[in-house]
Every structure is written in structure tokens, then in C-alpha cells.
Structure 1
């Protein structure tokens, strides 16, 4: 299990411009979900027979993965997915987004809930780096959010336009989930998301034994953040618009 949330550091790292290729991800034949507004008779979604079980919004996982296939490394160094693992995960940059491919560990920090507390998670921490609009901590059990590494010389998310509530398209197998940036973690580890995010993607969400080593791709958009941060509906609306914009860019 990974070390839990660390405080933000302050120093930004210099960007590396060497092109890299993210680890290959199979591009499955998809039958993703569409919002009901796009499922009207005769719409592209209806004609292709997409189911509502695999995707939020109107952008296919295959299209996002194809767009994210290669990029420029912007982190000074690379990250580990777990304590003791080899540091081999770069943070990459494309126009309008930063991205990485890693595993997914389970963050259960923030509000105490039935699923997230000191009994269910020995590494439980009562606070998240960012808070709801009412000042309360985020709820890992209810809100899909991702964890970004704490700022360091290796990489500073804020210096690259990523902030509280920035929206990420999280892709696992044939599923797309829109989640907000809700917490920060250790400065040398990457690949973590909330209990709710894992559950929505069909990943075992138990904070002790859950998560997955299968490839999870995180595409974090630089555009406007979801508001309020605790609204998943706002994250889906914002994320879908930013994802479509991301795909149109050269």
C-alpha cells in the first residue's frame, strides 16, 4: 500500500521536452455509454448501439487513448507507482492536457464515512488537499477524484495549469470516468484515485486490498475547473467539453 497524502511542496521543476511514448494500451472495440440527450432516435450513439454502462459523456476511450499515445515528457524525472517500485512513469504534456499511465491505488481520505475511516483504512487521513465549496473535506466514498503528486522539483502540477477541481478523464479498459483533482500525494509516487472513482470504473475499491495494477490512463485537462468541486455532474459536463476540445487539437 502506498504512503498517504503529503503536504504540497513549493519548487517547480524544469520541463523536459524529449518525446516519449506512453505504455501501449489495447484499444478495444467499444460499446460505451452516452448521455440520454445524445441517445435520441437517429443519433450517432443510437445508431452505433452504445450501452450506458461503460462511459460518461460523448468521447470514446479508444479516441482518448489514441490521442494520448505519445507525448513530450514534462516532469524532470519519473515516478514510482508504489513504495519500492522502479521509477518509470513520466508525466507527459500535450496541448491542453497533462497525462500519465500508471496503476490505481485507493485514496479514502477526507470525510469519515462507512467505507472510509480508520477502521477500514489504517492509513486514513481526515483531510484532503482541497475542500468542498462549503469548506468541508472531500468525500472519497462519494466523489470521484484523483490524486496528483505533491509539488516538487520533479514536477509541479500548478505550474502546468492543474489546480483544485481540474477535470481528468480516467480511462480503464473500455471505460471513461470524469473525476476532479481532489488531493495531493507523496512527491515521488503517482497513480491514485478515490474510493468512488475506483468503484465507478469497476475496480475493487477496498482501501486495504483494492486498486489495480492494470494500466490506467489519466488525462488531466488544463481548462476551467469543475464548479463546485464536489459536483460530479459538473465534472462530467466540464470534462466532456474539454475532452472533445482535446481531441480536435493538433
Structure 2
């Protein structure tokens, strides 16, 4: 059975130096899944198979391993590659941030009205419309900031041969990994219900170092930048 621990919040203006930034009006590539349904999700030009072929082995960069839920043992390392870090885990559903009909105290027993990173207008992110990923808060196990990962960084999330680009949008418990927003799950065909949804395994998260989408809430910018970074990742690994 799934369990979640309350996510942590950080200052809204944290970590805003990047080597890859897209402007607000950046245009995204065609998003086949969003219109056609979650089963067809393919964002950008790089296939899930091509990305997965580059993460078949793990060079562990974390000092220890993470649990996927409170009741599980710690089995998930953070792995390093040229230009990225990655892990393979489950997906629990984060519905934190702006209160909506899908994400609120009435739908999510663990709901919080804030996210670690904020929109350009200062408001928390909106989990039911913005694909974002939760990273473990920095600890002796691993410090995401020291690894070149920051708020608004681009993440390729892969599940059952589908690719969804997301941003780093929230921080979570220091010992648990494998969580993403309602919108991320829905786009990948995973049950997005924050209380009973998610999936127990089979999700790969590839986080591109020193990347940042600006503004963080622009999904089209995340897709455009993510596609470029994925092509570079394929070339360099």
C-alpha cells in the first residue's frame, strides 16, 4: 500500500543559475499524448527506447540508497551519467501547490498548499496541470543542488515506453524517492489519484544537469529544452 510523507518547502527564489534557459515564449514540440490520450504520450523527438538504452547500468553517485515508500527497504540509488542523473523507482502522486478541484484537502490526505519552487508570479505550482517531479530534500544520502539539479530543471520521465518532460518542482522526504505531480502521472497513463493512484515500479527519471526552464510553469518550454537536452544526452553517453 502506498504511503507518503509531507513534502518540504523552500524559498521561492532558490537556485536560479543555469547553463540552459529558455524564454517564456519558447515553443514546444508537438505533444502527441496530450491530445490523443495518455497511451500515446511521446514528447519531443527522442524515443523512450533510446533514452532507456543509455541508463541500463548505474554508476552510483548517492552515498546511500532511498526507499520508495515508508514501509519499503532502501533499494534505489541515484546514478550519474554525462550531463544527467537518474533513478528508477515508483511514482507516488504529489498534489501539492495551488488548490484546485483535483488537488486539495478533500482529495489528498497529505495535501499542502505550497511547493518548494514557485511560478514566475510567486504562486505555488499547480500539480493538476503542470508536469513536475519531486526530488528528495538534501541530506547525507545525496544533495541534489551539488549535483547540478535545481528548481525548474528538466526531467525526462519514462514509463511503459512513453516519454513525458517535466520540471523539478518540489522537494520531499530525505529518505524517499519516486514522486511526481498529478499532471505527470495523467500524461503517462498512470492513475493520478493522490490517495490511491500511482504505480509501484517501472518509472525512470532522467534529470538534466544545469538546466532550467523559464518560466518554470511553461510546459512547452520544458518540452523544447528537454528535447534538445535528450538529444545531447544520447550523443554523449
Map of 1:4 onto structure 2: 6
Map of 1:186 onto structure 2: 173
1:123 paired to 2:110: yes
Take 1:89 and 1:169, find their aligned partners in 2: how far apart are those partners? Answer: 18
- Name the structure, 1 or 2, with higher relative contact order (CA <8 Å, separation 6+): 2
Map of 1:214 onto structure 2: 201
Give the drift of 1:57. Answer: 0.2
Contact 1:6 1:187 in 2 (8 A): no
Map of 1:138 onto structure 2: 125
Deviation string 1:77-108 (CA, Å, 9 cap, x unpaired) is: 00000002010000000010000000000000
Take 1:201 and 1:189, find their aligned partners in 2: how far apart are those partners? Answer: 21
Q: CA RMSD, aligned part only? A: 1.6
Matches within 5 A, 1:2-41: 2-7=4-9, 35=29
Q: Normalising to structure 1: TM-score of the pair?
A: 0.82
Three-state SS of the structure 2 residue aligned to 1:234 is helix
Distance 1:209 1:36, change over 3 A: closer
1:240 paired to 2:227: yes
Matches within 5 A, 1:53-202: 53-202=40-189
Give the drift of 1:2. Answer: 1.1
Gaps of 5+ in 2: 11-27, 32-38
Give the drift of 1:36. Answer: 5.0
Take 1:240 and 1:114, find their aligned partners in 2: how far apart are those partners? Answer: 31
Map of 2:21 onto structure 1: none
Q: Normalising to structure 2: TM-score of the pair?
A: 0.86
Take 1:147 and 1:102, find their aligned partners in 2: how far apart are those partners? Answer: 12
Structure having the higher Rg: 1
Three-state SS of the structure 2 residue aligned to 1:160 is coil
Take 1:62 and 1:201, find their aligned partners in 2: how far apart are those partners? Answer: 15
